[in-house]
Amino acid sequence: MASDAKIISAAGGSPEGADVRRRDFIYIATGAFGAVGAAAVVWPMIHQMNPSADVLALATTEVDISSIQPGQAIKTVWQSKPVFVRNLTQAEIDAAKAVDVSTLRDRETLEQRTQPGRLNWLITLGVCTHLGCVPLGAAEGENKGDFGGYFCPCHGSHYDTAGRIRRGPAPTNLVVPPVTFKSDTLVEIG
Amino acid sequence: MSFPWAQQYEPKTEFTRWLDSRLPLPRFVWNAVGPGYPVPRNINYFYNFGVLAGVALMVQIITGIILAMHYSAHVDTAFDSIQHIMRNVNEGWLFRFLHMNGASFFFIVVYIHIFRGLYYGSYKAPREVVWMLGVVILLLMMATAFMGYVLPWGQMSFWGAQVITSLFSAIPLVGESIRMWLVGGFAPDNATITRFFSLHYLLPFVILGVVILKVWALHIPGSTNPTGIEVQGPQDTLPFHPYFTAKDFFSLTIYLIFFAAVSFFLPNALGHPDNYIPANPLSTPAHIVPEWYLLPFYAILRAFTADFIISAKLWGVIAMFASIILLFFLPWLDSSRVKSASYRPIYRWFFWLLVIDVFILGWVGAMPAEEPWVRIGQAATAYYFAHFLIILPIVSMIETPRRQPNSIAEAVLGPEAVRARPASRPAEGGFGGAMPQPAE
């Protein structure tokens, strides 16, 4: 290597600059230019797999809740995900309130999960926070799990009457979507 | 490549001489799977599963290309197009059943092949790269099989896609974005089915490419053998053709009998009835299970039920991927210089315990997430990791191996036979030289 350096310096470069040649700069510049170009090409290739505009045009969903009796629930769809709209009975509200929040995996009260003054309307996504199955318990006669709310049959997550995770692998409570009460009987989700 | 005593390719005709100097394809085949590739003479039938896996891959590619001619990748038509294949397309039922069951048989063959490698130490130096390429193929196979199972867009297809893509949402911060990127929406939908179809068509050819790399890497040291000692001379080997081509064709015949029996008489035995119900995003089947070949990994995924620093969900996902990634490090976790379990009295027991453990995991994976299966699954998961991370390193340090034979020829023919023959070209043509010379 020493002899190479001598040759280069003899060819006109300064002895100090023998290690950094003009060609090194060209290599780095070419590599950097290529990397930027590659990134510019790769990004559209990756981004094309993200949800398309029609999928993202997330219409809000309006639900008429007038016919849901206490103790009943319906399933509806918002952003292609199932949503549970549940009219809690007084006993279910009391059961949810009786739980010591500090013992929960995901500490939320029923008040935090419902709209002010409408404690009986529990509106959650019907998507188990474990791996995305639809929990049972919304339809008549389905297994509501050990805590009277929802039960996910895939991997055995039990949710209580406030849709909070109580037992099983799911890490968080059933997600509460943005909810607006347009009137006493009309709810907008989204 | 190969051993110095390998038979050289000599073109016999004017044409093959002409071709050999321009495109030496016949020479390549001769050296790869012909008389030019010497193989340890003592390999047993478990060594046939590599070739069987290659055949299974080709069956999947051919039947898959045919199915793609009739399948329609769209949420509205995918399910119906499968029924169209089954009822209207000429012999469509045949190709679908061969493709469905071919996937299961591919995994059966590959799992036997993997356990063969574990028993005879095929992952050890100098074959680490062969082994690691095999793990890459296993991962690619799982991805391909999963995406293929989604395409019929039945209930199990949809919910399988939902569960598996949700695995990625366990990653902190970016998980949900990755999940939406994978499925192309908020939930599996048309964008999912089209991209899965595209990738399901692509990945088998990627597998084929890795298979070529793997065979290339294998042919440098050659196969292991049941004694685990390396080839020392011509007396230890036989040419691939005709000895092992004949043996492979025999085992292929047996394999095809089983494959045909299941495909024709029990075509749905390995599937789930739920997948004949069209996908319904609002109703999860009571009991979601993956295809049988993914059950052990599904059991590991479900084994974590309590949060510890990170969420139970993320633990499950990490453990499931780790259970396969772990295999990449196996050549260095097992430091014993003895390859074959036949000469490793302690390791042999733990090998069979691992086999039992994987069967238990598979069984638990098929069961609902209730007691006692959750506990059993947790114990079996713990043992799976303990085998590779604790037991194997310790056993390979403390074990006293049995005395190995001096050479493959001695193990096969006995010490007298080896001594009686000069070392130059002993035992050519098999026992007593009664076998014919290799065909040319």
The span from the CA of B223 to the CA of B236, in Å, is: 12
Q: What is residue B185's three-state secondary structure?
A: coil
Which of B284, B318, B374 to mutate to test binding with chain A, by most A CBs within 10 Å of its CB?
A: B284
Angle between helices B92-119 and B128-150 (to 10 degrees): 150
Task: Report how far Cα B13 is from the mean position of its chain's Cα atoms.
Answer: 40
Q: Are A63 and A179 in contact (CB under 8 A)?
A: no
Closest Cβ–Cβ partner in B162, B287, B314 for A153? B287
Identify the residue whose tokens are 């194997």.
Answer: B392
* Sign, Cα dihedral of B428, B433, B439, B440: positive
A178 plus A84 within the same structural domain: yes
B159/A154 touch (CB, cutoff 8 Å), yes or no: yes
Please indicate whether, in this complex, the C-beta atoms of A170 and B313 are within 8 angstroms of each other: yes
Q: Supply the pLDDT for residue B256.
A: 96
Q: What is the pLDDT of residues B368-408, one digit of tens each?
A: 877 888 899 999 999 999 999 999 999 999 999 999 999 99
Angle subtended at Cα A47 by Cα B321 and Cα A80, rounded to the nearest 5 degrees: 75
Query: Which DSSP letter does residue B266 get?
Result: S
A36, A65: one domain: no
Is A131–B313 a contact, with Cβ atoms under 8 angstroms apart?
A: yes
The tokens for A135 are 């929990």
**What residues of chain A lie within 8 A of the CB of B302, using their CB?**
155, 169
Q: Which residue of A has its CA nearest to B299?
A: A155
The three-state secondary structure class of B378 is helix
Residue A21 and residue A63 in one domain: no
How many domains would you assign to chain A?
2
Could you identify the residue written with the tokens 């995305």? Answer: A132
Query: Cβ-count burial of B169 within 10 angstroms (0-12 exposed, 13-18 middle, 19+ buried)?
Result: buried
The rounded distance, in Å, linking the Cα atoms of B409 and B415 is 8
Chain B residues 303-322 within an 8 A CB cutoff of chain A: 304-305, 307, 311-314, 316
Give the C-alpha separation, B150 to A105, whole Å: 33
> Do A49 and B155 meet the contact criterion of CB atoms below 8 Å apart?
no
pLDDT digits (tens, 9 = 90+) for B221-270: 999 999 999 999 999 999 999 999 999 999 999 999 999 999 999 999 99
pTM of the entire predicted model: 0.84
Q: Can the peptide bond before residue A15 be classed as cis, meaning omega within 30 degrees of 0?
A: no
Q: Tell me whether residues A169 and B284 touch, CB distance under 8 A.
A: no
B185 vs A55: CB contact, 8 Å cut-off? yes
Residue A31: both structure tokens together: 């590599």
User: Which amino acid is located at A4 in the chain?
Assistant: D
Same domain, yes or no: A37 and A87: no
A125 plus A175 within the same structural domain: yes
Q: In CATH, what is the architecture of B37-278?
A: Up-down Bundle (1.20)
B159 in contact with A, Cβ within 8 Å: yes
Residue A22 has pLDDT above 80, yes or no: yes
pLDDT value at A185 more than 60: yes
Q: Give residue A98's identity as a one-letter amino acid code.
A: A
Same domain as A42, residue A72: no
Q: What is the CA radius of gyration of chain A?
A: 30
Which chain A residues are Cβ-neighbours of B370 within 8 angstroms? 156
Instruction: Give me the domain span that covers residue A29.
Output: 2-47
Please give the Cα distance from B314 to B316 (Å, whole number): 5
A179-181 and A81-87 as β-strands: parallel, antiparallel, unpaired?
A: unpaired
The answer on pLDDT for A12 being more than 80 is no
Whether residue A160 sits in one domain with residue A77: yes
- Residue B54's contacts (CB-CB under 8 Å, 6 or more residues apart) are B211
Indicate if A96 and A161 belong to the same structural domain.
yes
Rounded to two decimals, the ipTM of the complex is 0.72
Q: Tokens representing B10?
A: 């000599």
For residue B362 the two structure tokens come to 């598979």
Q: Measured between alpha carbons, how far is B236 from B42 in angstroms, rounded to an integer? A: 8
Q: What are phi and psi of A117, to 5 degrees?
A: 75, 0
Q: Which residue ranges in chain B fall short of pLDDT 50?
A: 423-440
End-to-end, the C-alpha distance of chain B in Å comes to 20
State how far the Cα of B27 lies from the Cα of B105, in Å rounded to an integer: 32
List, in order, residues 6 or more apart from A172 with CB less than 8 Å away: A105, A106, A129, A165
Residue range(s) of every CATH 1.20.810.10 domain in chain B: 37-278
Q: Do A133 and B311 touch (CB under 8 A)?
A: no
In the numeric block, the tokens 């799990």 are attached to A145
How far is residue B251's CA from residue B45's CA, in Å, rounded to a whole number? 8
Q: How confident is the model at residue A101 (pLDDT cuts 50, 70, 90)?
A: confident
Q: Do A153 and A128 meet the contact criterion of CB atoms below 8 Å apart? A: no
Measured CA to CA in angstroms, residue B148 lies from B56, B58, B198, B412 at distances of 15, 16, 10, 45
* pLDDT-wise least confident of A35-39, A163-167, B304-308: B304-308
Known catalytic membership, residue A47: no
**Are residues A91 and A169 both part of a single domain?**
yes
Residue A81's CATH number: 2.102.10.10
Are residues A36 and A66 both part of a single domain?
A: no
CB contact at 8 A, B341 and B326: no
Q: Is-contact B179 B168, C-beta < 8 A?
A: yes
Distance separating alpha carbons of residues B146 and B192, to the nearest angstrom = 13
Both A35 and A70 in one domain: the answer is: no
- Contact B234/B428 with Cβ under 8 angstroms? yes
Q: What is residue B46's DSSP assignment?
A: G
What gap in Å lies between CA A8 and CA A16, rounded to an integer? 11
- Taking alpha carbons only, the member of A120, A124, A123, A130 closest to residue A96 is A120
pLDDT number for residue B183: 93
Tokens of A6: 């001598």
d(CA B208, CA B57): 8
Q: What six digits make up the tokens of B290?
A: 């993956």
Residue A151 near residue A145, CB atoms below 8 Å = yes
Distances (CA, A) of A149 to A174, A189, B204, B250: 11, 21, 44, 59
Which chain B residues are Cβ-neighbours of A154 within 8 angstroms?
159, 163, 284, 288, 369
| Contacting residues of B for A132, CB less than 8 Å apart | 162-163, 165-166, 169, 187
Q: Quick one: closest CA in B to A171, which residue?
A: B311
CB B85 within 8 A of CB B298: no
Q: What is the mean pLDDT of residues A99-112?
A: 87
Residue labelled with tokens 């110095």: B4
Instruction: Indicate the SS3 state at residue A55.
Output: helix
Q: Would the CA dihedral through A37, A41, A46, A47 be positive or negative?
A: positive
In the numeric block, the tokens 């060209």 are attached to: A26
Query: Is there a single domain that holds both residue A37 and residue A69?
Result: no
CA B119 to chain centre: 15
Say how far apart CA B239 and CA B228 lie, in whole Å. Answer: 19
Contact B277, B155 (CB under 8 A): yes
- Map tokens 């990627």 to a residue: B206
